[in-house]
Structure 1
Amino acid sequence: MKALLAEATWTPKKQNLNKNLGVVGSLAWKDPQFKIVDKSFPILRHDELLVRVKYCGVCGSDIHVYETDKEGYILFSGPTKLPVVLGHELSGEIVEVGKEVKGFCQGDIITTESILWCGHCTPCRTGMPNQCENVELLGLTVDGGFAEYITLKAKYCWKLNHLQERYSFEEVCKIGTLIEPIGCAYNGIFISGNGFLPGAFAIVYGVGAIGLGAVMLLKAAGAAVVIAVDSIEERLNLAKSMGADYAYNIASTNDFSEMVQEITGGWGADIQVEAAGAAKYTIPMMERNIAKRGKIIYLGRAESEAFIDLNSLVSGAHTIVGSRGHSGYGIFNNVITMIHKGKLCGVEKLVTSSLPFKDILNAFESSRSRKDGKILINMHSV
């Protein structure tokens, strides 16, 4: 079968790094290369599903493996084991069901979590699968979805058949790729961040797929005003079409803090979501715009450290929360249910283009402009 393989040279910046442990990619992997290869057909285990991948989304994490710094190191700052088949935002049809699997049938449409938790370590057993001590990341530390077929443990998979009550088969398969990024936003806002009161003022920094998911979720949960912030006009227009009340381009000469004060009547933002991974630039903006007892939800991985004014944090009783992943807490089920019941209006707009697998590297190049919402790869399109 065909698959996209990412390779790089192991050149650790620090001693005592073990490449088998999935260390931070930007600390070790240099000069990445990408090629479509023929791989052996996956072998189905008793607790797995064999899935014919329909679509797989191009994520910012994939692009951060594709892009490098001045020294040639990949930009992705999370766990990475190379070589690996990239891709973790996928949907597909079940071809075969493992002998020990219950609740799934051949022909089911599914999507999958990409945080592959073990279920045995203390964090997993105490209800924190996103902090699993033995975690693997689909498409980053183990082979992922930019392949014609994939085997997945059934415990990570979720059925999407019932979405056909609202969408066509093709639309369901496309929307299925969005559950993972929207789930990351859900986890940050409602689980790690403990939610917010309806009527709140909200700002989302960075409106890629996760940021756009945050916009939809904030509106669905009752935010009075959502302000989208980005440097790319196309993304800001998309954010407004998906529910953002205001959009601010950071290239603007207008003072953003003045805009926030005017919109909120001098109160500031009750909740701010950072989905840009640009803490060095966004943290100072968020500190200026935060309301009393306001909270900052940090979702994006940053390439550099950022200064935080702890005196302001204490005086304003502010909260800063980091959030990783999308597993557990009913997240996937709740996001799927919201889509099924029409509560995430315009979710299908998040997909801005779909390309055949043969054009995947062109899709990576297009993604570098950051002008798209979500680019999907049709894994069986000619």
Structure 2
Amino acid sequence: MAKMKAVTLFADWDPKPDFKLGPKDIEGKQTYLGSKVWRNPRIEIVEHDIPEPGPEEVLIEVKACGICGSDVHMAEPDKDGYILYPGLTGFPTILGHELSGVVVKAGERAFDKTTNKPFKGGELVCAEEMVWCGSCKPCADGYPNHCERLDEIGFNINGAFAKYIVLPAKLLWSLEPLRKRYKDEEIFLAGSLVEPTSVAYNAVIERGGGIRPGDNVVICGGGPIGLAACAILKRQGAANVILSEPQPERAELGLKMGADHVINPLEKDFAEEVLRLTDGMGANLYLEATGLPDKVYPGIEQAIWEGRTLNSTVVIVARADAKIPVTGEVLQVRRARIIGAQGHSGHGTFPRVIQAMASGMDMLPLITKKISLEEVPENIIELRTNRKDCKITCVMD
């Protein structure tokens, strides 16, 4: 069979003493509690067979794939050698899930949902990262992000830091609308940003409930998800989009993406600044996108308690194995709530993000560095400490 090079993550199955094999875990192969099991992660570029599509699958030539914080945390060990990422993982696997590309070959029952016709080849597409079954109860209830038979591209099945990837046709979305605004390589770069932007969209719109024009919002964390949320919420009509981010480069980028104000929480009191910038009102929606909820939440809670806005929503989108110090009295008296957000599929999230991008919501500034496939491993490692770059994207030859 023909071969291709791919960025592959290896790790050792070495469960912590408190780990118990769950009903969806597979001994020695995959778990839903990655940080409790996988040890000594290592990234290698190795050869894999070029895959062939099944009847309902599509072979895609990958054109662009972004490095996600999840890729970094899957490959990053803590002091005891365990990976930082807490979720579904199965190694070895090819990393990469923020992809766009061109259809090369399709199975006989692989249909393009945007045309309701079979894929023929040559179509420009992006893909959902969460592989949902469509037949379990969460899927039947309309919650594919919580599929009971969930697989995740680049987490427990092979991803897109490779020349080719085979995916179920049901996960693909056409990038044709982006031709209105982008040309050549830019279409694929924009297409690779649909997945992370959809994570932000799901968090603040679908799970957080969105806002009314004129509301105040606070985004904690100026990574790709937080910055995408700035763009989405400003486009939805937020009066004040306040970004909390200490890194100067990301703070500056936040202002370009839609933030009206930036707080450096290392230099100023977060809650005091939120209240000052909103004339004592506080915010209708707070997004926790730092991955440090134990450190960030107390400030959010103080702003809710001291502010005059009732019914605030706190959305937790960053993945972290950490407990949040919650004061129930604050939630009760201020009619506030905490919502969890996972993933991006369902409720038409992908096509809405694509249409928003096609009509002027430019996400390309998020990409601050472009690299080759061979440079992916070193950049994943560099992102453990590099907060100057936002989105580093692999562009395929």
TM-score, normalized by the shorter chain, greater than 0.5: yes
Alpha carbon RMSD of aligned pairs, Å?
1.2
Alpha-carbon distance in structure 1 between the residues aligned to 2:311 and 2:134: 35
Decide which of 360, 363, 376 is 2:393's aligned counterpart: 376
Q: Which residue of 2 aligns with 1:120?
A: 135
SS at match of 1:39: strand
- 2:382 is aligned with what amino acid? S
Residue in 1 that maps onto 2:285: 271
Match of 2:266 in 1: 251
Check conservation: 1:278, 1:303, Cα contact below 8 A.
no
Instruction: Provide, for residues 70-112 of structure 1, a one-character-per-residue CA deviation record: whole Å limited to 9, x for no partner.
Output: 0000000111001111111001111112111223331111100
Q: Which amino acid aligns with 1:12?
A: P
2:54 to 45, 55, 63: 45
**Which of 138, 142, 151 is 1:136 aligned to?**
151
Aligned to 1:303: 321
- Name the counterpart of 2:358: 340
Establish whether residue 356 from structure 1 lines up as the match of residue 372 from structure 2.
yes
Deviation at 1:21, TM superposition (A): 4.5
What amino acid sits opposite 2:396 in the alignment? M
Deviation of 1:298 after TM superposition, in Å, equals: 0.7
8 Å CA contact 2:177–2:355 kept in 1: the answer is no
2:63 and 2:322 map into 1 onto residues whose CA distance is 36
Task: Note the 1:312-323 alignment, pairs <5 A.
Answer: 312-323=330-341
Decide whether the 8 Å contact of 2:271 with 2:300 is kept in 1: no
Normalising by structure 2, we get a TM-score of: 0.93
Give the letter for the 2:377 counterpart.
L
Distance 2:318 2:251 in 1: 18
For the 8 Å contact 2:216–2:283, the answer to whether it is kept is: yes
Deviation at 1:55, TM superposition (A): 0.8
Q: Which runs of 5+ in 1 are unaligned?
A: none
| 1:168 match | 183
User: Which residue of structure 2 aligns with residue 3 of structure 1?
Assistant: 6
Alignment partner of 1:12 is 2:21: no
- Equivalent position of 1:328 in the other structure: 346
Q: CA deviation at 1:367?
A: 1.8
**Could you tell me how far 1:284 is from its partner in structure 2?**
0.4
Structure 1: distance between partners of 2:381 and 2:39: 19
- 1:126 & 1:107 partners in 2: Cα distance? 34
Residue 214 of structure 2 aligns to a residue whose secondary structure is coil
> Which amino acid letter does the alignment assign opposite residue 363 of structure 1?
N
Equivalent residue runs for 1:167-186 within 5 Å: 167-186=182-201
CA displacement, residues 325-356 of structure 1 (integer Å, 9 cap, x when unaligned): 100100001000101111x1x31101111001
User: For residues 388 and 147 of structure 2, what CA distance do their matches in structure 1 show?
Assistant: 34
**Counterparts of 1:77 and 1:106, CA distance in 2:** 37
- Matched residue SS, 1:223: coil
**In 2 relative to 1, CA 86–259 (structure 1 residues): closer, same or farther, beyond 3 Å?**
same
Matched, 1:108 2:123: yes
| 1:15 Cα deviation from its structure 2 partner | 4.7
Identity of aligned residues (%): 38
**Are 2:29 and 2:91, in contact at CA under 8 Å, matched by a contact in 1?**
no
Q: After the TM superposition, which residues 5-84 of structure 1 pair with which residues of structure 2 at under 5 Å, given as runs?
A: 5-13=8-16, 14-17=18-21, 18-84=27-93
What letter is aligned with 1:2? Answer: K
Task: Tell me, in whole angstroms, the C-alpha distance in 2 between the residues paired with 1:370 and 1:91.
Answer: 24
Contact persistence 2:228–2:257 (CA under 8 A): no
Secondary structure of 1:292's counterpart equals: coil
Instruction: Give the AA of the match of 1:356.
Output: S
SS of the aligned residue for 2:313 comes to: strand
Q: Aligned partners of 1:67, 1:20: CA distance in 2, in Å?
A: 19
Q: CA–CA distance in 2 between the matches of 1:198 and 1:177?
A: 29
The separation in 2 between residues aligned to 1:260 and 1:192, in whole angstroms, is 23
TM-score of the two chains, using structure 1 as the length reference:
0.96
Which sits farther off after the overlay, 256-265 or 232-241?
A: 256-265
- Distance in 2, matches of 1:255 and 1:31, equals 38
Distance 2:49 2:121 in 1: 22
Give the equivalent residue in structure 1 for 2:294: 280
Q: Kindly provide the amino acid, as one letter, of the partner of residue 169 in structure 2.
A: A
Contact 2:128 2:195 in 1 (8 A): yes
Q: Show the counterpart of 1:145.
A: 160
Counterpart Cα distance in 1 of 2:231 and 2:73: 25
Q: Secondary structure at the match of 1:37?
A: strand
Q: Secondary structure at the match of 1:269?
A: coil
Aligned letter for 1:349? P
- 1:90 is the counterpart of 2:99: yes
* 1-structure distance, mates of 2:65, 2:166: 14
Question: Partner of 1:370: helix, strand, or coil?
Answer: coil
What is the SS of the residue equivalent to 1:152?
strand
Structure-1 separation of matches of 2:269 and 2:250: 20
Structure 2 unaligned spans of 5+: 22-26, 113-118
- Distance in structure 1 (CA, Å) of the matches to 2:183 and 2:19: 52
| Count of residue pairs the alignment pairs up | 377
